[in-house]
Structure 1
Amino acid sequence: MTQRTGPVRPGGDAPDLVTFDDVRDAARRLAGVAHRTPVLRSRTLDAAVGAEVHLKCENFQRVGAFKFRGAYNALSRLAPEQLARGVAAYSSGNHAQAVALAARELGSRAVIVMPEDAPQSKADATAGYGAEIVRYDRYTADRAALAHQLAEERGLALVPPYEHPHIIAGQGTAALELLEETGRLDALLAPVGGGGLMAGSATAATALAPGIRMIGVEPEAGDDTRRSLAAGHPVTIPVPRTIADGQAVDTPGALTFAINRRLLDSVVLVSDDEIRAAMRFAFERLKIVTEPSGASALAALLAGRVSPLPARIGVIISGGNIGPDRFAELLG
C-alpha cells in the first residue's frame, strides 16, 4: 500500500481541474438518460468485513458499467455538425460500449479502436450498439496514437476514456448519487485504471463529505497510479497482464493524475486471485455479477487491504460486463 500523508483538498495551490459544480452539471445532463443505480447492503458482507458497507452497483448502469455516465456527458456537449460527422474512441470494452450507445442515442456514429484480445462479449455489445470496430495489438501498438490518426483522417471527434474533464465529471456522478443516498461515509473505495472514475468520485465525495478517505484500488500487475503517486509524477509500466482488463493501463492520464494526486489518500493493490474471490462472493452471497475490474474495490475490502478500517465504507462496483463462459472460466 502507498499511504499518503494526506491529500491536498480543493483550495490549495493546484487549480480545480474539474469542480463539484461540473459534476452536478453532469448529473443534470444525465437525469433521465443514465440509470440511478442501486446502493446495496449485506449483513453478511458487513460481518465479513467488520464495517458498514454500501455498494454502489454500476454493473446495473446502461452498458453494464459506469462508463456511460462520462461518455454521454461528453458527447452530449458536441456541436450538431460534429455529431453528424461522428466520434472515435479507444477502449478495451466498457468505454467502447458507452461511446457507441451514447453516439446512437444522440444520432451520431462511432468508430472504436479495440485491442485484439478484448473480451468478446464487450466487442459484440459494442458492435451491437452500431459502432465500427478497428482492432489493434495492445502489447505492441499505441492505441491513443491509432485513434488520433483515425479521428484526424475521418474528421471525427475523439472521446478519450478518461483524459477529459467532461468524462471525469460524468463519472463523478456515481459518487454523487452514493453520498446523496447514504448521507455520510468515512471512506470510499473505487477501482483505478486510467483514473477517471476515481478523479470524478474524489471531486464529488470530498466536496460532499470533507475528511472522507479516498482509497484507490489497482491490480498488483498494474500499479501505475500507485507508483506515480510515490514518484510525484506519472510513470509508465509494462502493459499489465491481469484478469482485470479494464485496469490494464500502463500509465495514468495527466489530467486524472493531477486530480488524484491532490485528492487520494492511498492506493492499495489486489491480486488476481483476490479479485476472483470477490467475484465469487458477489455472485454467491450478494447475487450480483461483476467483471474483474468491477470487483477489485470489493476485493480490497474483503482481503483486508483497508487499514485502519472505517466504520462506514462506500465501494463502487464499477461494472459487470463479462460473458458466461469467461465468468465460469475465472471462477472454475
Structure 2
Amino acid sequence: MHLPDYDDVCRAHRRITPWIHRTPVLTSATFDAMTGATLFFKCENFQKTGAFKSRGAVNAVFGLDETDAKRGVATHSSGNHGMALARAAACRGIACTVVMPETAPRAKVEAVRGYGGEIVFCAPRNTARQQTLDALVTESGANVVPPYDDARVIAGQGTCAKELLEDVPELDIVIAPIGGGGLIGGTALSTRALSAHTKVYAAEPANADDAYRSVQAGQRLIEDAPDTIADGLKASLGELNWGIVTRDVDTILLAEEDAIIEAMRLIWQRMKIIVEPSCAVPLATILHNPEHFADQRVGVILTGGNVDLERLPWL
C-alpha cells in the first residue's frame, strides 16, 4: 500500500479547499490556567458535517476519475466518516452506501441519511463491519473509501494540522485522538514537514487502547469490540497508520472513561461549544498528565461535534 507523504497532503488541500471550511483556532484562559500550558484548539466541530472526516472523504471522492466515480462509493463507519462520505458523494452527484453498526448514535444515522447516503446495518464488531462491506462491494462494484487506512483519506486528514501550524506557528506539541489512525497519521505528516521540532502526541481511550498496546508490543494488535463512550475511536489502528505512528508519533496517552466525560462537559461549559466524547479525549489526557504539557504551547485538534442530545453521557 502507498504510504502518503506531505506532498500528498498539499495536493489534497488544493483539491478539497472549495468543499470544506478552514476551521477557526480558539483559546481558553480557563484551560490554560487549569493545565499550566497555552492551548490552541483547532475546532473541527465547526467543519462541514461537523467533523474533520470531511477532509479525507472529499479528497477521496474528488480524486476519483469519471469512470470510477460512476460506480459510486461505499464504506463502513460508526458515523462521522459515513456522514462525510455521503456529503462528498452528494457534492459530486454519485451514490454512497454506508455500513453502520446497529449501536451507532441515532443522530449520526439520521445525518447519513440526510446527506443522501444509503445505510446497511451490521453487528457492533469491527470484523462484522468489514465483512458486510466486502459483501456489499462484491455485489455493487462501488469504490471502497476506507474510514482511515487509506492514503487519500490520511492525506486529507493531514490538512487539518497543516492549517493549524500555518495559523499558529512555534507549537511545542500537537495532540489529536487516535482510533483507526487516519487523523493522527495525517497530523504527523504535516507536523514533521512544517515544524520538525514539534512533538506529536496521540490521545486514546483506555478502554480502546490497541494503539498504545501495539506500540508497547512492537506489533500492530487488533481489538474487535472495545467498549468506550468515545464511539469514534473504537476502530483498531490501520496498517498504513501503524507505519506512520511507529515512525512519527512521540507518545500515546490514555484517558479513562470518567475523564473523557469530564473533559467533554468542561468544553461545553467553559468554551460554549459542542463536542462529542471522542473529541474530548485529548483534553482529558492533558488534564490528567500535566507533566507533559506544563509551560508548553499545545495545538489540540477538536475532532467533531456530532452528539445525540438525548443521550448526553452526564445525564
Per-residue CA distance 1:89-132 (angstroms, 9 max, x = gap): 00000000000000000111101000000000000000011111
d(CA) in 2 for partners of 1:50, 1:182: 18
Whether the aligned pair in 1 keeps the contact of 2:126 and 2:225 (CA below 8 Å) is: no
**Does 1:219 find its partner at 2:202?**
no
d(CA) in 2 for partners of 1:295, 1:43: 17
Whether the aligned pair in 1 keeps the contact of 2:37 and 2:293 (CA below 8 Å) is: no
- For 1:299, give the aligned amino acid: A
- TM-aligned CA deviation for residue 300 of structure 1: 1.0
Change (3 A) 1:105 1:179: same
Counterpart for residue 244 of structure 2: 259
d(CA) in 2 for partners of 1:140, 1:195: 15
- TM-aligned CA deviation for residue 16 of structure 1: 8.6
- For 2:145, give the aligned amino acid: V
d(CA) in 2 for partners of 1:137, 1:306: 40
d(CA) in 2 for partners of 1:252, 1:309: 29
Report the secondary structure of 2:97's partner residue: strand
Counterpart for residue 291 of structure 1: 276
Report the secondary structure of 1:243's partner residue: coil
**Does 1:188 find its partner at 2:160?**
no
- TM-aligned CA deviation for residue 143 of structure 1: 1.1
Report the secondary structure of 1:85's partner residue: coil
Whether the aligned pair in 1 keeps the contact of 2:286 and 2:293 (CA below 8 Å) is: no
d(CA) in 2 for partners of 1:66, 1:132: 21
- TM-aligned CA deviation for residue 80 of structure 1: 1.4
Q: 1:304 aligns with which of 289, 295, 303?
A: 289
d(CA) in 2 for partners of 1:201, 1:291: 20
Change (3 A) 1:287 1:18: same
Counterpart for residue 100 of structure 2: 114
Structural RMSD (CA): 1.5
Counterpart for residue 20 of structure 1: 6
Counterpart for residue 45 of structure 2: 59
Report the secondary structure of 2:305's partner residue: coil
- TM-aligned CA deviation for residue 56 of structure 1: 0.4
Q: So what's the TM-score if we normalise by structure 2?
A: 0.97
**Does 1:322 find its partner at 2:307?**
yes
- TM-aligned CA deviation for residue 223 of structure 1: 0.5
Q: Percent identity?
A: 44
- TM-aligned CA deviation for residue 308 of structure 1: 5.5
Q: 2:143 aligns with which of 145, 157, 181?
A: 157
> Which blocks of at least 5 consecutive residues in structure 2 are unaligned?
none
Structure 1 segments of 4+ aligned residues over 4 angstroms from their partners: none
Q: 2:234 aligns with which of 229, 233, 248?
A: 248
Q: So what's the TM-score if we normalise by structure 1?
A: 0.92
Whether the aligned pair in 2 keeps the contact of 1:62 and 1:68 (CA below 8 Å) is: yes
Number of matched residues? Answer: 315
- For 2:44, give the aligned amino acid: E
Per-residue CA distance 1:174-212 (angstroms, 9 max, x = gap): 000000000110001100000000000000011111121
